Amino acid sequence: MESLRAEAREAPESGIVEVMTYGWGRPGLIPLWAGEGDLPTPEFIRDAASRSLADGETFYTSQRGIPELREALADYHTRLYGRPFQPERFFVTGSGMQAIQIAVDSVAGAGDEVLVPSPAWPNIVAALGVSGARPVELPMSLGNDGWVLDLEKLKAAITPKTRAIFVNSPSNPTGWVAGREVLAEILDLARKEGLWIISDEVYSRFYFGDAPRAPSFYDVAEDDDRILYVNTFSKNWAMTGWRVGWISAAPELGQVIENLIQYSTSGVAVFMQRAAVAALNDGEAFVAEQVARARSGRDLICSALERTGRTRFAWPAGAFYLFFAVDGEPDTSKLGLRLVDEANIGLAPGTAFGAGGEGYMRLCFARGADGLQTATQRLVTWLQTSCA
Amino acid sequence: MESLRAEAREAPESGIVEVMTYGWGRPGLIPLWAGEGDLPTPEFIRDAASRSLADGETFYTSQRGIPELREALADYHTRLYGRPFQPERFFVTGSGMQAIQIAVDSVAGAGDEVLVPSPAWPNIVAALGVSGARPVELPMSLGNDGWVLDLEKLKAAITPKTRAIFVNSPSNPTGWVAGREVLAEILDLARKEGLWIISDEVYSRFYFGDAPRAPSFYDVAEDDDRILYVNTFSKNWAMTGWRVGWISAAPELGQVIENLIQYSTSGVAVFMQRAAVAALNDGEAFVAEQVARARSGRDLICSALERTGRTRFAWPAGAFYLFFAVDGEPDTSKLGLRLVDEANIGLAPGTAFGAGGEGYMRLCFARGADGLQTATQRLVTWLQTSCA
Whether A388 has a pLDDT exceeding 70, the answer reads no
The residues near A370 (Cβ < 8 Å, ≥ 6 apart) are: none
**Residue B269 C-alpha, separation from nearest chain A C-alpha, in angstroms:** 5
pLDDT at position B236, please? Answer: 97
Q: Which residues of B touch A110 (CB under 8 A)?
A: 109-111, 132
Which of B88, B22, B68 shows the shortest CA–CA distance to B346? Answer: B22
Query: Tens digit of pLDDT for each residue in B17-39?
Result: 889 889 988 999 999 999 998 99
Say if the Cβ atoms of A256 and B1 lie within 8 Å. Answer: yes
- Is pLDDT of B387 > 80? no
Which tens digit of pLDDT belongs to each residue from B209-255?
A: 999 999 999 999 998 899 999 999 999 999 999 999 999 999 999 99
Percent of chain B beyond pLDDT 90? Answer: 93
* d(C-alpha B314, C-alpha B308), whole Å: 15
Q: For the segment B59-70, what is each residue's pLDDT rounded down to a tens digit?
A: 999 999 999 999
On whether the CB atoms of residues B267 and B60 are closer than 8 A, the answer is yes
Mean pLDDT of chain B: 96
- Indicate if the pLDDT at residue A26 is higher than 80: yes
Determine, for residues A36 and B58 on separate chains, whether the beta-carbon distance falls below 8 Å: no
Q: How far apart are CA A165 and CA B184, in angstroms?
A: 49
Confidence of residue B388 (pLDDT cuts 50, 70, 90): low
Q: Residue B2 above 90 pLDDT? A: no
Strand pairing of A90-93 and A162-168? unpaired
The better pLDDT of the pair B63, A16 is held by B63
B344 near A CB under 8 A: no
For residue A213, name the pLDDT band (cuts at 50, 70, 90): very high
State how far the alpha carbon of B305 is from the alpha carbons of A272, B130, B302, B308, B338, in Å: 41, 38, 5, 5, 18
Q: Is B54 at the interface with chain A, CB within 8 A? A: yes
CA-wise closest residue to A91 among A99, A100, A80: A99
In the prediction, which pLDDT does B256 show? 97
Q: Which residues of A touch B9 (CB under 8 A)?
A: 256
Chain B residues with CB inside 8 Å of A59's CB? 36, 40, 240-241
Judged by CB atoms closer than 8 Å, whether chains meet at B8 and A105 is answered as yes
Mean pLDDT, range A346-358, rounded to an integer: 95
Rounded to whole angstroms, how far apart are CA atoms B173 and B325? Answer: 13
Q: Which of B138, B234, B99, B121 is nearest to B175 (CA)?
A: B121
Residues from chain A that touch B224, judged by Cβ atoms under 8 A, are none
Is the C-alpha dihedral spanning B18, B23, B25, B30 positive or negative?
A: negative
Alpha-carbon torsion angle B129, B134, B137, B138, nearest 10? -160
Q: How far is B163 from chain A (nearest CA, A)?
A: 9
Rounded Cα distance, B280 and B69, in Å: 9
Residues of chain B contacting residue A3, judged by C-beta atoms under 8 Å apart? 107, 194, 196, 226
A56/B contact by beta carbon, under 8 A:
yes
d(CA A197, CA A107): 10
Cα B174–chain centre separation: 11
Which residues of chain B are within 8 Å of residue A272 when distances are taken between CB atoms? 269
CB spacing of A5 vs B111 below 8 angstroms = no
CA distance B331 to B26: 23
Average pLDDT, chain A: 96
Give the mean pLDDT of A340-358.
96
Q: Chain B: nearest CA to A37, how far in angstroms? A: 9
DSSP letters spanning B293-345: HHHHHHHHHHHHHHHHT-EE-PPPSBSSEEEEEETT---HHHHHHHHHHHH-E
Categorize the per-residue pLDDT at B273 as very low, low, confident or very high, splitting at 50, 70 and 90: very high
Residue A370: band (very low, low, confident or very high) from pLDDT cuts 50, 70, 90: confident
Q: Cβ–Cβ of A269/B106 closer than 8 Å?
A: no
A262 Cβ under 8 Å from any chain B Cβ: yes
Q: How far is CA A318 from CA A213, A220, A314, B85, in A?
A: 9, 19, 11, 48
Mean pLDDT of the B271-299 span: 98
Strand partners, B118: B139
Distance set, CA B116 to CA A40, B166, B200, B325 (Å)? 44, 5, 11, 22
Residues A321 and A357: their CA atoms lie apart, in Å, by: 13
Question: Does the beta-carbon distance from B109 to A12 stay under 8 Å?
Answer: no
Put simply, the answer to whether A8 touches B53 (Cβ < 8 Å) is no
Percent residues over pLDDT 70 in chain A = 99
Buried b (16+ CB within 10 A) or exposed e, A27-42: eebbbbbbbbbbbbbb
Using pLDDT thresholds of 50, 70 and 90, give the confidence band for residue B90: very high
pLDDT tens-place string over residues A282-334: 999 999 999 999 999 999 999 999 999 999 999 999 999 999 999 999 999 89
CA A343 – CA B236 distance, rounded (Å): 49
Question: What ranges make up the beta strands (E) of chain B?
Answer: 30-31, 90-93, 113-118, 134-139, 141-143, 146-148, 162-168, 196-200, 227-232, 245-248, 311-312, 321-326, 345-346, 348-349, 360-364
Q: Is the pLDDT of residue B107 over 90?
A: yes
Disruptive mutation site among B10, B257, B263, B271 for chain A (greatest number of A CBs within 10 Å):
B263
A132: which chain B residues are within 8 Å (Cβ-Cβ)? 109-110, 132
SS3 content of chain B, % helix, strand, coil (to 5): 45, 15, 40
Peptide bond into B12 cis (omega under 30): no
pLDDT single digits (tens) B152-202: 999 999 999 999 999 999 999 999 999 999 999 999 999 999 999 999 999
Helices (H) and strands (E) in chain B, counts: 13, 15
Sign, CA torsion B330/B350/A62/B290: positive
Please determine, for residue B74, whether its predicted confidence score (pLDDT) is greater than 80.
yes
At B133, is the pLDDT very low, low, confident or very high (cuts 50, 70, 90)?
very high
Query: Whole-angstrom Cα distance, residue A201 to residue B136?
Result: 40
For the segment A196-214, the average pLDDT, to the nearest whole number, is: 97
**Closest to B5 (Cβ–Cβ): which among A11, A108, A264?**
A108
CB atoms B241 and A59 under 8 Å: yes
For every residue of chain A, which 3-state class applies, written as one string?
Answer: CCCCCHHHHCCCCCHHHHHHHHHCCCCCCEECCCCCCCCCCCHHHHHHHHHHHHCCCCCCCCCCCCHHHHHHHHHHHHHHHCCCCCHHHEEEECCHHHHHHHHHHHHCCCCCEEEEEECCCHHHHHHHHHHCCEEEEEECEEECCEEECCHHHHHHCCCCCEEEEEEECCCCCCCCCCCHHHHHHHHHHHHHHCCEEEEECCCCCCECCCCCCCCCHHHCCCCCCCEEEEEECCCCCCCCCCCCEEEECCHHHHHHHHHHHHCCCCCCCHHHHHHHHHHHHHCHHHHHHHHHHHHHHHHHHHHHHHHHCCEECCCCCECCEEEEEECCCCCHHHHHHHHHHHHCEECEEHHHHCCCCCCEEEEECCCCHHHHHHHHHHHHHHHHHCCC
Domains and CATH numbers, chain B: 6-41+285-382 (3.90.1150.10), 43-282 (3.40.640.10)
